[in-house]
Chain A
Amino acid sequence: MLIPDFSNQPYIAEVIRTRAASADVISAIGRLLPGEWMRETAIVDGTEILTCHGFILSPVPYHRAVRKVRNSDGTVVTFPRSKTIGKDEQYFYDLFVVNRNGQFVIAAPFYGLARDYFPKIDRALAGRRIAYETLNITNMVVKLGTQGRMAFPGSNDEEDAIIVTRCHLAYDDPEERRRDIEQIQLTGANLGATKIYAELVRPVISPKSAALTVTPVLFGFALFADGVKKAGATTDRHGNFKVSVGPGVRQLKRLFRMLDGIQGMQAVVSTTSNVPILHSGAIEAA
């Protein structure tokens, strides 16, 4: 079982599509690492998922605090792990690449780390015709409606559902140019169950009847099957994702299932050649 060093916090991720061979992609990214990938293959939701875990070695301290964990044998491990190279202390940070067919999820634990390394990964994959998946979150809000929920056929003849867990809305007033309200942020296990969510997203769903222009800038959603949350993610308008990883990396592996559900919504999924993390820093605030 893969146990990330930073399983206690969300990771920044991007979803890549390419026709290049999986081994080629993973090997090209692996060249950025000081060591080898640790690989694990598993069948998740009926499909084979390959998870690669490695460490980036960086002199930049992306973490805010050091975490100490006492193992059962009494040894104490400090996270992030570090080693001194020359006069400098260098830190090890997780990097995950999770692959299913031509789709790859790349995840790293800190925004700054992602901001520095995802462009390097983009360069490392040059010439492989990679594209980053983005979700049109305005259309997602519209499709999920005021209930913030959409069911779709599950893997075992049962219904799975995508529900809203986070919503950041930006307000603008093209007529009056007023700044009375700029953003509203909602967070919860099931926002669609609240009245306030329906009220707030109504201008997104029916813009013509609204005085203000309301634009979703961050949107969180979760995959529920049999009433159990299987995976969750927050995304911006540009293809940046924030995901929970957890010990065993189960949520990351199930991300594909959730993306499949979203794929079923029309005019939501598209791709871009732009590295999402270079487009917007909004995901950092999520």
Chain B
Amino acid sequence: MGRFTYYLILTEEAPAQFKVKIESDVPLVTLHSAMESQADVRYSPILPAYLVPNETPPSPPSTPNTIAFLFAARPYQALGRLKPDLTLAEIEATFFTEGLASIIILNCGLERALALKALIGCSTVEFWSVRDGRLETPSVHSDPQPRTENVPPALEATRDDVLDVYIEQISASVTTLWTSYGVYFPEERPTLIRILQLTKDLIARHIELSKDKASIVKLRQSNAIISALVEISASLSYSVTQGTSGAVPIVSNRSPFPHHSLLGIGGEIRALTKFVRYVESAFKRRSAASIIDKQYSTKNVPVPHSIAKYESGPEYAFAPSVAEEFDCGGEFRDDEDVPLLVQFSLRHGFKESKFSITAASESLTAESLPAWTLMTLSHEMMHSRVRDIFQALFGTTWEDDDSPSQWDGFYQHFNQWYRDEQGSAVALAAGIRNAVMNFCLAMEREAAVGKVSRSDSERQVSRAEFLNAYLKHKRLATEIFVHFHDFYFAYAAQSKLYVMSLWASWTTVAAPVARPLEYLARTLATISSGTGTAPRAAFEGAAEILEEALDSLESVGFKSALFAEVRRLLKEPDRERCFARFKPAYYLIDQVRRYFASRSVASAIDRLETDPFADGSTIATEYAASVYVFGDVGKVVSPIRYSLNALVRQLSGEPAIGDLQWLTAWNSMVISSAGDESSVDT
């Protein structure tokens, strides 16, 4: 399979004098010559849209006569709509991009470009005429924007110097985004409204705090608010620089991404945002925090407290026709959530925080490789969901999880529960919290599973030890919650695939290499969840799946010294050490499975009936995504399933196409085109 990616290059030889050309490879030579001649160069990848299996598309002209840039908000559907009307020459001259100018057609007359614009209902076209390789004055053809009714009220200055800095920054960013989204991303305007509301709330809370008597608690809360404002401001600023560059006129809106400097990455940002909104929308159906606060705090259920004697059981298995606990009770919609702001980050890679989420910038070029798959975004989003769960279980205010009075209560309740040999029912919310604490304490006294019970004095835990164990092992407990959510919701509980995905990506990450035993135990516990089998049997079964998955990875060329280390850890004498780590994790993940699995949420992610590639199955290998198929009305591609399929193909050594850049841009283009129809909130 050949390379399909081309590069549209604009060289500014003199002020406002541009030379246009198309190259078939990364323009390293052009970049170097530009350095020598002190010319400014901008470029972006362009990708042929209409491929035929087993054929390399014809090369575009190196200097086209015209270029029509169609700013289609849903390029996947637009390409499907355009296809029947395009002549063969036009089909071969049609490209898609990662920018806001999502579709470009070479050597197409202005009149024809405007007709195609009307056909796909796209609001803006920029048209370039190129004479002797030089760009003439571009023309922009935009539809008038409808008058906006719901302009949110502005933020007002507070006369607090610190707050006003952020008020100004946030206001400026929101204004820029409001205008840009009106044209290029109207669905995101409600996010801006929510962000403004949140900012107002934070400011009001900060002002209230400043009226109170100074204390270390108040200071901590004020600082937390400032920190939130900083994060919101920074994220909005990234949204401006990444999401709005590449708009019309293209030559005046240079992108800060040097390897996408001409057209920007607005389309990719749209894809990330759609991906995140899709998952958010599914989770909105059942608010974990509300269920914990209102349902799990009033329902009494016995929660096992002895990890040493823990045996799992059928109540933890996925049982036919038994409603999940999480789906029981009334409506617990989450309509108050603040959507996460989404960006690429060269520095942070994949990372999640309270108000934003970032994807690795490598995902712009090689998204289908395991290290940079958008599936990692789902993992980061699960962190956001789990943060809500922990917030509901352990505290109600920011940074309040070590508040002394609250921890006194937790400690007392835990002691009573732990010492209750009868295993009486407790409020489920408290029971789950105790299970988390039990796990943290087990990790603290990590030792090989012994045959002799600990003495009563050994089982005593002081309040300080209790809190320290939580602070020390909360991260791991969180990861176990996240693993379950990722495995169950995003990977549809496909054990081998999940293991392959994890370990293929972990080969390039420092932590699993530094702490392979921890990551091994986490993996084994995750794929054991829902089996309901005794720990030893679950461990043996999971270890077998893991080894088979590593073999499969190696068979298609994913090799790593880490795999050898994992195999070593699964042999005696380390195997028993691994089991000792596994058992508390298995105990915890069983509780997570039992109380946080949700058919309601899962079915909103899967979309079996409307996803054109699902064919009635959530099995990733049966998902029939095709790079030769375009968007149709009424069909809703699940971003999760689509990304997962791209990853599966890569992990199986059968990528849809050999050109990573093309495939990356294609996957993003498909995901970026999910429209209102994709709202799972129907």
Query: Do A and B actually bind?
Result: yes
Mark contacts of A110-140 with chain B using CB atoms, 8 A cut-off: 1 yes-contact digit, 0 otherwise. 0000011001100100111111000000100
Q: A134–B619 Cα gap in the complex (Å)? A: 24
Q: How far is the CA of A115 from the CA of B54 in the complex (A)?
A: 11
A182-B617, A237-B615 known; A119 and B91 CB under 8 Å?
no
The reply to whether B615 and A280 form a contact with Cβ atoms under 8 Å apart is: yes
B53 touches A213 (CB 8 A): no
Cβ-closest chain B residue relative to A171: B616
Whole-angstrom distance from the CB of A123 to the nearest CB of chain B?
6
**Contact assessment for B80 and A129 in the assembled complex, using a CB-CB cutoff below 8 Å:** no
Chain A residues near B612 (CB-CB < 8 A): 237-238, 279
A178 proximity list for chain B (CB < 8 A): 318, 320
**A179 closest partner in B (C-beta):** B619
Pick the contact of B628 from A171, A176, A275 — CB < 8 Å?
A: A275
Asked whether, in the complex, the Cβ of A273 is within 8 Å of the Cβ of B52, the reply is no
Q: Give CA–CA (A278, B80) in the complex, Å.
A: 14
Tell whether A260 is near chain B: CB-to-CB under 8 Å: no
Task: Determine if A225 is an interface residue (Cβ-Cβ < 8 Å).
Answer: no
- Whether, in the assembled complex, B407 has its beta carbon less than 8 Å from a beta carbon of chain A, the answer is no
- Distance to closest chain B CB from A240 (angstroms): 12
Check A273 against B86 for contact (C-beta < 8 Å).
no
Q: Which of B151-195 touch A at CB < 8 Å?
A: none
B534 contacts partner chain A, Cβ-Cβ < 8 Å: no
Interface string of A178-202 (1 = CB under 8 A from B): 1100100000000000000000000
Q: Which residues of B are found within 8 Å of A275, using beta-carbon distances? A: 628
B483 to A: closest C-beta gap in Å = 15
Q: Name which residue of chain B comes closest to A212, CB basis.
A: B320
Q: What are the residues of chain A within 8 A of B630 when measuring CB–CB? A: 273-274
CB distance from A278 to the nearest CB of B (A): 4
Distance A169 CA – B617 CA, assembled complex (angstroms): 10
Are B80 and A273 neighbours in the complex by a CB distance under 8 Å?
Answer: yes
The answer to whether A174 and B599 have CB atoms under 8 Å apart is yes
Residue on A nearest B634 in the bound complex, by CB: A270
**Which A residues are in CB contact (< 8 Å) with B530?**
176-177
Cβ of A274 and Cβ of B80 under 8 Å apart? yes
* Also in contact, A172 and B608, with CB within 8 A (given A214-B616, A274-B80, A280-B615): yes
A211 within 8 A of B: yes
A175–B88 touching, CB < 8 Å: no
Query: Which A residue's beta carbon lies closest to that of B625?
Result: A279
A3: interface (CB < 8 Å): no
Query: In the complex, A215→B616 CA distance in Å?
Result: 5
C-alpha spacing A261/B54, complex, angstroms: 38
Of the candidates A130, A213, A272, A280, the one whose C-beta lies within 8 Å of that of B603 is A213
Given known contacts A127-B87, A177-B492, A273-B84, is B318 in contact with A282 (CB within 8 Å)?
no
Q: For the complex, is B626 an interface residue (Cβ under 8 Å from A)?
A: yes
Chain B residues within an 8 Å CB radius of A116 = 53-54
Chain A, range 232-247, C-beta contacts under 8 Å to B: 237-238
Q: Is A269 an interface residue (CB 8 A)?
A: no
State the Cβ distance, A141 to closest chain B Cβ, in Å. 12
Q: Are A176 and B320 in contact (CB under 8 A)?
A: yes
Docked Cα-Cα span, A213 to B603, in Å, equals: 10
B603 partner residues in chain A, CB cutoff 8 A: 174, 213
Given contacts A120-B52, A177-B488, A274-B80, contact A126 B617 (CB under 8 A): no
Collect the chain B residues with CB atoms within 8 Å of residue A272's CB.
Answer: 80, 632
Q: B87, B488, B624: which contacts A279 (Cβ < 8 A)?
A: B624
Q: Please tell me if the beta carbons of A182 and B619 are within 8 angstroms of each other in the complex.
A: yes
A279-B617 in contact (CB<8A): no
Report whether B615 and A217 are in contact in the complex, using a CB–CB cutoff of 8 Å: yes
* B53 lies within 8 A of A174 (CB): no
Alpha-carbon distance A79/B53, docked complex (angstroms): 27
How far apart sit A281 and B622, CA to CA, in the bound complex (Å)? 11
A170 CB–B CB distance under 8 Å: yes
Find A175's partner among B86, B91, B324, B617 (CB 8 Å cutoff): B324
Contact status B88-A123, CB under 8 Å? yes
Q: Which residues of B contact A169 (CB under 8 A)?
A: 616
Tell me the bound Cα distance from A203 to B54 in angstroms: 40
Distance from A142 Cβ to chain B, minimum over Cβ atoms (Å)? 12
Contact A175 B616 (CB under 8 A): no
- Whether the Cβ atoms of B321 and A217 lie closer than 8 Å is no
**Could you tell me if A274 and B632 are in contact, using CB atoms closer than 8 angstroms?**
yes
* B567 on interface, CB distance cutoff 8 Å: no
Give chain A nearest CB distance to B6 CB in angstroms: 20
Q: How far is the CA of A275 from the CA of B603 in the complex (A)?
A: 29
Chain B's closest residue to A274 (CB) is B629
Task: Please determine whether A119 and B52 come into contact, CB atoms closer than 8 angstroms.
Answer: yes
Pairwise interchain contact A172-B88, C-beta atoms closer than 8 A: no
For B635, give the chain A residue with the smallest CB separation.
A272
With both beta carbons as reference points, the residue of chain A lying nearest to B624 in the complex is identified as A280
Q: Min CB distance, A62 to chain B, in Å?
A: 14
| Residue contact B599 to A131, C-beta cutoff 8 Å | no
Cβ-based interface call for B606 (8 A)? yes
Asked if B85 lies at the interface with its beta carbon under 8 angstroms from chain A, I say yes
**A211 touches which one: B321, B494, B617 (CB < 8 A)?**
B321
Chain A 133-178 residues near chain B, CB threshold 8 A: 138, 169-172, 174-178
A150 to chain B, nearest CB (A): 22
Contact across chains for A217 and B616 when beta carbons are under 8 A apart: yes
CB nearest to A18 among chain B residues: B84
Name B602's contact: one of A120, A130, A174, A273 (CB within 8 Å): A174
Q: Is B597 interfacial (CB 8 A cutoff)? A: yes
Please give me the residue from chain A that is nearest to B327 by CB atom: A175
Q: What chain B residues lie within 8 Å of A175 (beta carbons)?
A: 318, 324, 597, 599, 602
CB closest residue in chain A, given B87:
A127
Give the residues from 64 to 88 in chain B that come closer than 8 angstroms, CB to CB, to chain A.
80-81, 83-88
Q: How far is the CA of A182 from the CA of B617 in the complex (A)?
A: 8
How near does chain B come to A20, taking the closest CB pair, in angstroms?
Answer: 10
Given contacts A119-B53, A182-B617, A237-B615, contact A176 B84 (CB under 8 A): no
Please indicate the chain B residues that have their CB under 8 angstroms from the CB of A171 in the complex. 616
B529-564 to A contact mask, C-beta < 8 Å, 1/0 = 010000000000000000000000000000000000
B:607-660 near A, CB below 8 Å: 608-609, 612, 614-619, 624, 626, 628-630, 632
Inter-chain contact B493/A172, CB cutoff 8 Å: no
Whole-angstrom distance between the alpha carbons of A179 and B493 in the complex?
Answer: 10
Chain A residues positioned under 8 Å from B85 (CB to CB): 127, 129
Answer whether A215 and B615 are a contact pair too, CB < 8 Å, given A123-B91, A278-B628, A278-B629: yes
State whether the Cβ of B319 lies closer than 8 Å to any Cβ in chain A.
Answer: yes
Which of chain A's residues have a CB closer than 8 A to the CB of B614?
215
CB-CB under 8 A from B606, the residues of chain A are: 172, 174
- CB neighbours (8 Å) of A128 from chain B are 84
CB of B638 to closest CB in A, whole Å: 12
Contact A126 B632 (CB under 8 A): no
Contacts of A279 in B (CB 8 A): 612, 624, 626, 628-629
Contacts of A174 in B (CB 8 A): 599, 602-603, 606, 608, 618
Interface set, chain A 201-223, CB cutoff 8 A to B: 211, 213-217
Smallest beta-carbon distance A4→chain B, Å? 25
What are 23 A-B interface contacts by the 8 Å CB criterion?
A: A116-B54, A119-B52, A119-B628, A126-B87, A127-B90, A128-B84, A170-B617, A174-B606, A177-B318, A177-B602, A215-B614, A272-B632, A273-B630, A273-B632, A274-B80, A274-B630, A275-B628, A279-B612, A279-B628, A279-B629, A280-B615, A281-B624, A282-B615
B residues with CB within 8 A of A: 52-54, 80-81, 83-88, 90-91, 318-321, 324, 488, 492-494, 530, 597, 599, 602-603, 606, 608-609, 612, 614-619, 624, 626, 628-630, 632
Q: Which 4 A-B pairs have the closest CB atoms?
A: A215-B616, A170-B616, A175-B599, A177-B493
Q: Which residues of A are interface residues toward B (Cβ below 8 A)?
A: 115-116, 119-120, 123, 126-131, 138, 169-172, 174-179, 182, 211, 213-217, 237-238, 272-275, 278-282
Given A129-B85, A282-B615, 16 more A-B residue pairs with CB atoms under 8 Å apart are A116-B54, A120-B52, A127-B85, A127-B87, A129-B84, A172-B606, A174-B606, A174-B608, A175-B597, A215-B609, A217-B616, A238-B612, A273-B632, A274-B632, A278-B53, A280-B624
